[in-house]
């Protein structure tokens, strides 16, 4: 029995079917990501849990109790909005204290609690500032503190990192993950960024077109995509229609399509020791993209532009060079089935997934 | 450099045009009002201004203005809040109808109320039997003033509330704040300056209203004559000193409103800069 459960939830916005038979179970203390492309219904799910939207049918349970008719403010929820929705005309202190004042907690207790939270978010000394006088990262932390102030059982975050620039985003991700682990609060966050979900979440719920496609740990989603959507959505997949032309891969079904991720491909310079020399494809490098921490190399094999990642510590590969390409595995989607196809020449070597 | 020089010439031309325009259309008439008002000397002016009927007219004008501002403030806030924070059927229609008084001639507004509450109306017997007199009485004047100033406050508030969105209200609601607390603590600070600005505009418009009020008033001297009507009356009677003296009261009131407007705009701008 999960701490937060959704049973057969349906929700329409006028004619738009935003949530279709949603069934979710989230365990206490877990950090869960709702991941999906925009318009996939992930925010609607979050807002229904928060009581900001009412489902048309189905039940929402928190701690075993149906909360459909309980107002959001009595569900023990803290909510961090996408653009933080800090009260612009209140100081940081008043923002954090707001939820406590509404609950008519004595002002002394409020003072202690706000101080404690400011310390937690490393924003001591900022209590007199207005939100407009804070950096993006500070705003997010204040929004986090404000949501936590009344001691909620569940923390909901709507695209918590979307409004922050890339560098601070990485820092905040780590920070948020540590904070949530430390507080051991059941947390659900919405994101369209799979790297974010994979890095931060214990568990990911993938949504698409109003439905839940799959839920599981990041590893499970990577290893066993349950639906064609997950297979092509997770990882930076390339669609390959004629995968049977690749050495050591056999056609599975008549209309099957394969998805190939960069991490399933290795590219070697000619003459580099290749573990599976005979099974490698030869290809010409079409493009190389320096990514700072690594280099993406693109080659064309049997008409498919395939990407692979190469370490910056390895010898440089140039555009136009003839290289050996080894494909470890790919996902074959045959109708509604997804099968992981492994290169036949691999015999249970030590590979991570 | 060339561009700068060109700009300078253009600037001088634009400034000249603006000032000549203002001079001919505003300053000159205002000077003329004051000069004519003082034509019979200070004592003549004082007599005209302190005339019993002039004072009664001024009081009635202020009375109608205060009523219009209070009622339109309440209505304006409610309508603006409804239109910006809720989704409902007929929202577009409501929002269009609010603007109607601006597009309809005030005379028509006056006639509408005469037809609605006058002798030929089907609710007249009811009003009459309860001793309620609307047409050719103070309530009619108040009604007419409310009508013509109807959209002023809501139109100021709607853009501000739209820009703000509903996130802050939702955040407050999730933390358990009630509707009144949300309005007082979260929404009101956003609309404070726009509201004051709307009130100022509404006041200015209410004080000067002539057409609709003229139809509904019945022109009873000392009873249902507002300042603009009183001025018209004196003017038609060739009492130019009296007419222009009474006008000068309206002018002074207008200048007070103008100064208030400036102050509010400045304060509001400061507040906005702080919270951008």
Testing the interface with A: which of B175, B179, B276 to mutate, by most A Cβ within 10 A?
Answer: B175
In tens, the pLDDT along B13-41 reads 999 999 999 999 988 988 888 888 888 88
B169 shares a domain with B244: yes
Confidence band of A248 (pLDDT split at 50, 70, 90): confident
pLDDT tier for residue B90 given thresholds of 50, 70 and 90 = confident
* C-alpha dihedral sign at B148, B150, B156, B162: negative
For domain A236-342, which CATH number applies: 3.20.20.300, 2.40.50.140, 3.30.870.10, 1.20.140.10?
Answer: 2.40.50.140
Q: What is residue B6's predicted lDDT score, i.e. its pLDDT?
A: 67
Residues 6+ apart with CB under 8 A from A345: A247, A248, A276, A278, A279
Pair (B68, B31) in one structural domain: no
* pLDDT level of residue A154 (50, 70, 90 thresholds): very high
Share of chain A above pLDDT 90, in %: 48
Q: Please answer yes or no on whether A51 and B174 come within 8 Å at the CB atom.
A: yes
| pLDDT for position A57 | 94
B83 plus B8 within the same structural domain:
no
Look at chain B and report how many structural domains it folds into: 2
Could you tell me if B7 and B48 lie in one domain? no
Q: In degrees to the nearest 10, what's the CA dihedral of A155, A159, A164, A170?
A: 70
| CA A313-A240-A199 angle, 5° bins | 50
The reply to whether residue A73 touches residue B185, judged by beta carbons under 8 angstroms, is: no
Which pTM value belongs to this model?
A: 0.78
pLDDT for A4 equals 94
Question: Could you say which DSSP state residue A316 is in?
Answer: P
Characterize the bridge pairing of strands A77-80 and A31-35.
unpaired
Asked whether the beta carbons of residue B167 and residue A85 sit closer than 8 angstroms, the reply is yes
Kindly state whether residues B140 and B209 are assigned to the same domain.
Answer: yes
Q: Chain B closest CA to A122's CA: distance in Å?
A: 23
- What is d(CA A97, CA A110) in angstroms, rounded to the nearest whole number? 6
- In DSSP terms, which residues pair with B190 in a beta bridge? none
Contact A249, A330 (CB under 8 A): yes
The arithmetic mean of pLDDT across residues B52-81, rounded, is: 91
3-class state of residue A315 by DSSP: coil
A88 to B275: CB separation less than 8 angstroms, yes or no: yes
Q: What is the pLDDT of residues A14-64, one digit of tens each?
A: 889 999 999 999 999 999 999 999 889 999 999 999 999 999 999 999 999
Local structure of A21: helix, strand or coil: strand
Q: Which CATH architecture fits A4-225?
A: 3-Layer(aba) Sandwich (3.40)
Compute the distance between CA of residue A270 and CA of residue A16 in angstroms, rounded to an integer: 55
Residue A168's pLDDT is what? Answer: 82
Q: Indicate whether B65 and B5 sit together in one domain.
A: no
b/e sequence B122-156, b meaning 16+ C-beta within 10 Å: eebeebeeeeeebbbbbbbbbbbbbbbbbbbbbbb
Residues B19 and B114 in one domain: no
- In terms of domains, do B107 and B190 share one? yes
A87 and B172 within 8 Å at the Cβ level: the answer is: yes
CATH 3.40.50.300 intervals, chain A:
4-225
Q: Which of B170, B181, B190 sits opposite A102 (nearest CB)?
A: B181
Residue of A87, A97, A140, A163 best to disrupt the B interface, most CBs of B under 10 A = A87
Least confident stretch, A197-206, A266-275, B78-87, B204-213: A266-275
User: Where, residue-wise, is CATH 2.40.50.140 in chain A?
Assistant: 236-342
Q: Is residue B31 located within the same domain as residue B91?
A: no
The answer to which of A5-14, A268-277, A320-329, B261-270 has the lowest mean pLDDT is A268-277
CATH number at residue B134: 1.10.3720.10
Q: Do A102 and B167 touch (CB under 8 A)?
A: no
Asked if the Cβ–Cβ distance from A73 to B174 is below 8 Å, we say yes
Note the pLDDT of residue A216: 93
Instruction: Name the pLDDT band for A353 (thresholds 50, 70, 90).
Output: low
Helix B41-49 crosses helix B240-274 at what angle (to 10 degrees)?
70
Cβ proximity of A225 and A285 under 8 Å: no
| pLDDT over 90 (residue A77) | yes
What pairing do the DSSP bridges indicate for beta strands A211-216 and A65-66? unpaired
Q: Are residues B18 and B55 in the same domain?
A: no
Q: How far is the alpha carbon of A237 from chain B, nearest alpha carbon, in Å?
A: 36
Distance between CA atoms of residues A311 and A87, nearest Å: 46
Range of the domain at B23: 1-37
Same domain, B14 and B145: no
Query: Are B210 and B250 contacting, i.e. CB atoms less than 8 angstroms apart?
Result: no
Among all residues of chain B, which has the CA nearest to that of A157? B171
């Amino acid at each position: 029995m999960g701490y937060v459960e959704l049973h057969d939830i349906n929700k329409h916005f006028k004619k738009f079917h935003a949530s279709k038979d949603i069934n979710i179970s989230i365990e206490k203390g877990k950090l869960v990501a709702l991941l999906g492309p925009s318009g996939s219904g992930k925010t609607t799910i979050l807002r229904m849990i928060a009581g900001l939207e009412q489902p048309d049918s189905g039940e929402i349970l928190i701690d075993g109790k149906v909360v459909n008719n309980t107002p959001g403010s009595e569900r023990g929820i803290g909510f961090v909005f996408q653009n933080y929705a800090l009260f612009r005309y209140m100081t940081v202190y008043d923002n954090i204290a707001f939820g406590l004042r509404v609950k008519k907690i004595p002002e002394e207790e409020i003072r202690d609690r706000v101080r404690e939270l400011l310390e937690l978010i490393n924003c001591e000394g900022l209590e007199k500032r207005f939100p407009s006088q804070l950096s993006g990262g500070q705003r997010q932390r204040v929004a986090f503190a404000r949501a936590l102030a009344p001691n909620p059982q569940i923390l909901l975050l709507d695209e918590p990192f979307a409004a922050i620039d890339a560098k601070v985003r990485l820092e905040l991700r780590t920070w948020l993950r540590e904070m949530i682990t430390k507080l051991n609060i059941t947390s659900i966050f919405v994101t369209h960024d799979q790297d974010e979900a994979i890095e931060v979440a214990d568990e990911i719920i993938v949504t698409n077109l109003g439905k839940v496609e799959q839920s599981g740990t990041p590893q499970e989603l990577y290893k066993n995509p349950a639906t064609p959507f997950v297979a092509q959505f997770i990882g930076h997949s390339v669609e390959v229609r004629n995968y049977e032309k690749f050495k050591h891969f056999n056609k599975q079904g008549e209309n099957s399509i394969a998805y190939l991720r960069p991490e399933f491909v290795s590219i070697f310079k000619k003459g580099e020791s290749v573990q599976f020399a005979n099974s490698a494809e030869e290809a010409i490098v079409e493009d190389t993209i320096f990514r700072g921490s690594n280099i993406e190399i693109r080659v064309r094999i049997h008409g498919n532009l395939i990407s692979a990642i190469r370490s910056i510590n390895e010898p440089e590969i140039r555009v136009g060079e003839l290289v050996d390409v080894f494909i470890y595995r790919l996902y074959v989607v045959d109708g509604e089935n997804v099968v992981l196809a492994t290169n036949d020449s691999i015999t249970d070597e030590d590979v991570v997934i | 450099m060339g561009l700068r020089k060109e700009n300078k010439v253009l600037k001088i031309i634009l400034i000249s045009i603006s000032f000549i325009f203002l001079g001919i259309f505003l300053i000159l008439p205002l000077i003329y009002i004051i000069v004519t008002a003082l034509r019979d000397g200070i004592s003549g002016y004082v007599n005209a201004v302190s005339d019993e009927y002039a004072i009664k007219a001024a009081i009635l004008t202020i009375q109608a203005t205060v009523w219009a501002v209070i009622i339109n403030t309440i209505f304006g806030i409610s309508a603006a809040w409804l239109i910006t924070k809720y989704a409902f059927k007929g929202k577009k229609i409501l929002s269009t109808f609010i603007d109607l008084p601006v597009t309809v001639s005030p005379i028509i507004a006056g006639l509408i109320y005469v037809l609605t509450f006058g002798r030929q109306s089907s609710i007249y017997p009811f009003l009459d039997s309860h001793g309620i007199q609307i047409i050719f009485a103070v309530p009619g004047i108040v009604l007419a003033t409310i009508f013509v100033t109807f959209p002023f406050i809501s139109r100021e508030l709607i853009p501000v509330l739209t820009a703000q969105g509903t996130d802050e209200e939702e955040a407050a609601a999730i933390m358990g704040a009630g509707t009144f607390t949300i309005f007082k603590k979260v929404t009101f600070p956003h609309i404070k300056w726009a509201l004051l600005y709307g009130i100022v505009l509404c006041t200015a418009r209410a004080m000067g209203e002539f057409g609709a009020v003229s139809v509904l008033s019945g022109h009873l001297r000392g009873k249902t004559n507002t300042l603009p009507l009183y001025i018209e009356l004196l003017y038609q009677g060739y009492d130019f000193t009296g007419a222009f003296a009474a006008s000068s009261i309206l002018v002074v009131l207008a200048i007070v409103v103008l100064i208030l407007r400036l102050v509010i705009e400045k304060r509001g701008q400061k507040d906005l800069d702080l919270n951008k």
